[in-house]
Chains A and B, each alone.
Chain A
Amino acid sequence: MKSVRCIDLCKTYRQGEVEVIGLDHVNLELEEGGFVCLSAPSGGGKTTLLNAIGGLDTPDSGEIWLTGDRIDNLKKSELAKLRLHQIGFVFQAYNLIPVLTARENVEFVMEVQGVPAEVRRQRSLEILEEVGLAGLGDRRPAQMSGGQQQRVAVARAIVSQPALVLADEPTANLDSQTAEHLMELFVELNEHHQTTFVIATHDQRVMGYARRVIRMLDGRIVGDDRREAA
């Protein structure tokens, strides 16, 4: 079954006086449980595509289907609901809410979903252990390293078992060793939970972990390599 289908997606936006093509007739299908990297130089359209798939941005034309449902024509409130229940996000930075502890950050999505407190607590502790942060649940983000913070963000992204996890340059602010550990964690979670991972990056080392690398340039898909992960 296809997790994501994009049909002829187009998106332009303005940067000052200049009109920039974000997506140029993009057609794409992602399988359930896939581990995909979107690779492009800066301004190549990977983040725009990621945002469109994640319901954070709407295309000018074309269709986006997520697990069999069309999502490009949903209202803002419906998109918020979709993001809450079906998509996990890991951003490059500012990933965590500073006034909440690591455990509360992990529980955040579940709490908004209305999951009972006991279930939330149990799941968050399990997932924190899984990402290697057992015992750090009561720390605030400011008391954690960048790598630990990203792990909390990953834990939050997968804890409610979404259909899709989208990560935008998740290793950009991390040193190489921490980035490597994070990618190993992604692979492990992908295999363990069978969650589809889509990672936007221009880091060759990150791409090395992917089973499929989609290359973009100026808003167009210019390459689609399927391969075995390193």
Chain B
Amino acid sequence: MGGLQIILRLAWRNLWRNHRRTLIMLAAIVVGVWAMIFMTALMRGMVDDMVKDGVSVLPGHVQIHHSAFRDDPTISNVIAPPDGALLEVLGRPEIVGWATRVRVPAVISSERDTRGVTLVGIEPDRERGISFVADDVTEGRFLESRDDRGLVVGRKLVEKLETGLGKRVVIMSQDQENEIADRGFRIVGIFDSKLAQYEEGYVFGGESAIQDLLGVGDAVSEVAILGHDYRDVDGLLSMVAGAAGSDVEVLPWYELDSYLGSMLAVMDGFVVVWIVVVFLAISFGLINTLVMAVFERVREIGLMLALGMTPRNILSQIVAEAVLLLVIGLAIGNLAAWASIEPLKGGIDVSIVGEGMEYFGAASVLYPALYLKDVVLANVIVIVLGFLASLSPAWRASRYDPIRAITKV
């Protein structure tokens, strides 16, 4: 394009012709971009936390089950513990940890009350690395071995059952013969969870002890596997699925916990909507600024057309003005967002305003998560939509008749 340099020079100087107006518009863009990125980081942080907590509670990143287990999670649908090729895969560096579990619906009774729970038999050593239970035991002790005959119970359940550490409770479930299987256990540990439903609904025992209770030998309900990043489990999934064989079901966390999975997808959509909505608010100011700038310069535009600038040159000049304004606004807005997120990375205590958040899986401390993809998305949306918004005033300016424009009073 002929005269690109002069177009950019004119755009830049015209931008600063009315300092006050440009600075006000710039401030609006900066605040808008900051709000886009900062709020997105808070929302991402919240969802991240929910997913990480959700994944760390039990699902892991990938699980192996009997193909009927998800529809009928009883002791009838168990699988053999890992061996051969699967065991070799589970030892690879892509896998942070794995554990087998026996998981069945059960009833727990104290001398005061009875509750329906999910009874989970675990391998304590393996479970330590992949789920929350070991770290969250706040009273008593965690299970010591697969043969441990004690139970670890959530604090809320303890309160509901009006029982306590060292007290005996009775666990009742069905064995593989569909007969009642029950046994008394002593509560050896009490755990606290960020997620209230786990405190009330899960009871943990030694895997071997639970297998004995249910009469399933060494069969397990699931193998939970933890990779390095919950956002990138497809490779892990295919690797494990290849080794596990076709007679079992291998699923990623987002299918195991569809609430969390869909939340992540909804979040992606919400980020786009949020950025577009903020931009729309900015765009009114941007268009107004450009219309005013063009209106003030009708005669100059006429002069430039008369001297031989093409309508395309004029259009480019106005668009360049908008893009320069947006680029400056984006640069400062990005910097402001980063500068305000960085000091908050240690977490924001939202317990005062967020009481009850734990009931839907959110923690009371919010850790903002600034992702490059969100920053890129915000910047691309602002530039692309800003470019489109500037086309209307720029096109009008380029259509001026030079004679009429020069003589406009």
- Which residues of A approach B to under 8 Å, CB–CB? 51, 54, 56-57, 76-77, 80-85, 89, 91, 94-95, 97-100, 104, 108-109, 111-114, 156
Contacts and interface: CB of A to CB of B under 8 A. Distances in A.
Minimum-distance CB pairs A-B, first 9: A84-B308, A99-B13, A112-B3, A83-B308, A111-B6, A94-B299, A114-B2, A80-B310, A56-B403
B303 interface: yes
13 contacts: A56-B403, A57-B403, A83-B306, A85-B308, A94-B303, A94-B406, A97-B10, A97-B300, A98-B17, A99-B14, A99-B17, A111-B3, A112-B309
Among A84, A89, A97, A104, residue most surrounded by chain B Cβ atoms (within 10 Å) = A97
Contact of A89 (B14, B307, B309, B313): B307
B11 to A, nearest CB: 10
Contacts of A114: 2-3
Given A56-B403, A57-B403, A99-B14, A80 B305 contact: yes
B10 A111 contact: no
Contacts of A51: 403
B403 A76 contact: no
Contacts of B299: 94
B6 A112 contact: yes
Contacts of A100: 9-10, 13
Contact of A76 (B5, B303, B311, B406): B311
Contacts of B5: 111
B304 interface: yes
B124 interface: no
| B: interface residue count bin | 20 to 34
Contacts of A91: 303, 306, 406
Among A51, A54, A94, residue most surrounded by chain B Cβ atoms (within 10 Å) = A94
A113 B406 CA distance: 22
A94 B307 contact: no
Interface string B299-341: 1100111111111010000000000000000000000000000
Contacts of B14: 99
A113 B304 contact: no
A90 to B, nearest CB: 11
Contacts of A95: 303
Nearest to A76: B311
Interface in B96-152: none
Nearest to B16: A99
A111 B304 CA distance: 12
Interface string B266-306: 00000000000000000000000000000000011001111
B402 interface: yes
A112 B299 CA distance: 19
A156 to B, nearest CB: 8
Nearest to B307: A109
B17 A89 contact: no
Given A98-B17, A113-B2, 4 more contacts: A77-B311, A80-B310, A91-B306, A99-B17
A146 B304 CA distance: 19
B159 to A, nearest CB: 74
A56 B14 CA distance: 25
Contacts of A54: 306
Contact of B313 (A57, A104, A112): A112
B303 A99 contact: no
A51 B13 CA distance: 30
A97 B406 CA distance: 12
Given A56-B403, A94-B406, A99-B17, A108 B307 contact: yes
Interface string B6-38: 100110011001000000000000000000000
A99 B310 CA distance: 19
Nearest to B303: A94
Nearest to B304: A97
Contacts of B10: 97, 99-100
Nearest to B298: A94
A104 B10 CA distance: 11
A112 B308 contact: yes
A89 B402 CA distance: 12
A81 B308 contact: yes
B1 to A, nearest CB: 10
A113 B311 CA distance: 15
B300 A94 contact: yes
A109 B308 contact: yes
Contacts of B307: 83-84, 89, 108-109, 112, 156
Nearest to B10: A99
Nearest to A162: B308
B314 to A, nearest CB: 10
